[in-house]
Structure 1
Amino acid sequence: MKAVVYEGPRNVSVKNMPDAKIEKPTDVLVKITTTNICGSDLHMYEGRTDMETGRILGHENLGVVVETGSAVERVKKGDCVCMPFNIACGFCKNCEKGLTGFCLTTNPGTAGAAYGFSGMGPYSGGQAEYLRVPFGDFNCLQLPPDAEEKENDYVLLSDIFPTGYHATVLAGVEPGDSVAIYGAGPVGLMAALSAQLKGASKVMVIDSHPDRLRLAEKLGAIPVDDSDGSSVEQILKLTGGEGADRGCECVGYQCSCHGREVPNLTMNNLVKAVRPTGGIGMVGVFVARDPGSPDDLAKNGVLALDFGQLWMKGQHIATGQANVKAYNRKLRDLIAAGKVRPSQIISHELPLDRAPEGYRHFDARTEGWTKVVLKAAA
């Protein structure tokens, strides 16, 4: 099968790899039709993780079931399905609580597994023609009859739409709240969409890329240009000096200012911009070790957080990757009902063969390249 393979920093290729296949009775084999390049793929692409060369990338996957293991009962051949990026067993202590992003059995020695991702288990990714899905009955979200028509909407259920929604849950967004979202990349834009679904009265999205800010405005948010570093002052002005009720961190550990990485910038800005007793949700990726960081603290996964101000303001912070299965079914139903259209942030559709081009432009933040989907089906 064709697949996108990590060859080293800023080097991916499309090559023939051994076909994915059923390995256990609970597996499902999916023919991938649409798969995406995610912002978190760029951490590996840039060589900022311990990703092994020769591995297949891709954790945002949708396709058609072509084979099922002997123990699979619910999912059937021919079903159109979308897979959470989390690989979860469904029966461990965390999965039973709905915390499927922190499954205790699929990646022994740590909590949480994912397709084609560094440190998240040995699983191959779905930027390929076929994908093996472990615990298929649990991990496959079956899609409604309009799956082909709305494929670009439904594929975003694999990660960025639930992750954006998760940011608002972690922050505690309630109807009437004002929300400040740092990062107008795909996840930040989905957080803006989600905050409005939850009834936020004012959604402010902070970034320095004009094309992304335009998309935020198109989604109904207030764009806040932080090119001059004045975002905190702008948020305070927009909230009458009180600060936002809730804040979402949707950037991660490679946050930068004027081309220079400042890993603690977005978090400290949120501490300043969110009102006393407000909530902050962190879904941007932060890692335990970042040897490639120019920041000495960040090399060891340490963040210089303004903890004193956080404590004095009585704010709360919640963190972690999204438990996609906690949200994907209800978000699917909103798409099916025509209540939400997340695909409006997609800028490019490319065949799988052009994945290296997609990675190059997305990594360079080329104007207009906001979300890339890859079409694996011929």
Structure 2
Amino acid sequence: MARGKPPGPGPAAPEGEGPGHGQLLGPAQRRDWLRLIRTENVGPRTFRALINQYGGAAGALEALPSLARRGGRLMPPHTPTIAEAEAEMAAHARIGARLVALGERDYPSALAALDDAPPLLSVRGRGEVLRRPMVGIVGARNASAAGRTFTARLARDLSAAGWVVVSGLARGIDAAAHEASLEGGTVGVFAGGLTRPYPPENLALIEKVAQDGAVVSEMPIAWEPRARDFPRRNRLVSGMALGVVVVEAAERSGSLITARLALEQGREVFAVPGSPLDPRAGGTNALIKRGATLVTQAADVLEVLAPVAGRPPEDIAGPEEPPVPPEPAQPGDDARARIIGLLGPVPTFIDDLVRLSGCSAAEVQIVLLELDLAGRLDRPGTGRVALK
């Protein structure tokens, strides 16, 4: 399923503050970034908008209460205290993990190109594997023996060709992919925090992945995974990879969610064909009908991904939201009313809000941040927003 040419470059890090490529955040900056991304109603896109608007996390944290109040919220969103942020950083250190910031050397470059890239990743393991090109392998938890055997062969061959295999540490296909690529390098993505590995029966495998490769998460370190956290995990699996191979998947499965996310992120999608009599092949066969690249051997994947691996990461993903000046511009009541009046439940491009409201990009961004922090805004991606 060939990806279309992306509409524009994605940023390596928010403007105004943050490390350049290979540089490190200072301890106080990392603590402020952690406090900001752990703040209620602040996701990756909101984080980036706040950093760009206020020139850094410290300024954004100071502005949060007034922004939320103007957005219609009586109480400011909950923000972790300095002590709480430092406690989470200390908890990482106790298990041999660290927080890697967007723009730092060990932050996966393909993931950094996305407009919803996590500002901070919890990482335990070898940073070297996170700097190499990755391919995702996902599939059914109740995988067949044939599916697991093929997955192992595919993962070994891709690993031998220099690719890091990334998957979600689940039973079945995920586990087979990780096990077969331990020697060459593999990355496992948690749905919860790093101290909440899942599923329990994969604890030994997860430990091997952490020792020989790396395990990562965007969630707080002690976060217990919930059902809605697994699609978020899938977004990281596909976001780190240049392409995703689906080995076995029913017609309604989490693996197909990963394939959809991969397409939205501009990644290549591959599928392994299966018997029409096996429901575990229903989803993969449907992907092939819709244009996914059919895979019977690693060479099918390598042929497509080899040219992509040579591109700079900013040529892989979509554009950032419109940039705004670092100096905050406070909109008047009339401007605020015009901007809110243009919003509704249907996602609208931010560029259209600027054009139709007659307001500056900075004024529009301020109003969007106000609504966001009040819990009234949805950011579905690609520069679009909607009222909840």
TM-score class, shorter: under 0.3
* Structure with a larger share of its residues in helix: 2
Higher Rg:
2
Q: Which has the higher contact order (CA 8 A, sep 6+)?
A: 2
* Structure with a larger share of its residues in strand: 1
Q: TM-score normalized by structure 1?
A: 0.26
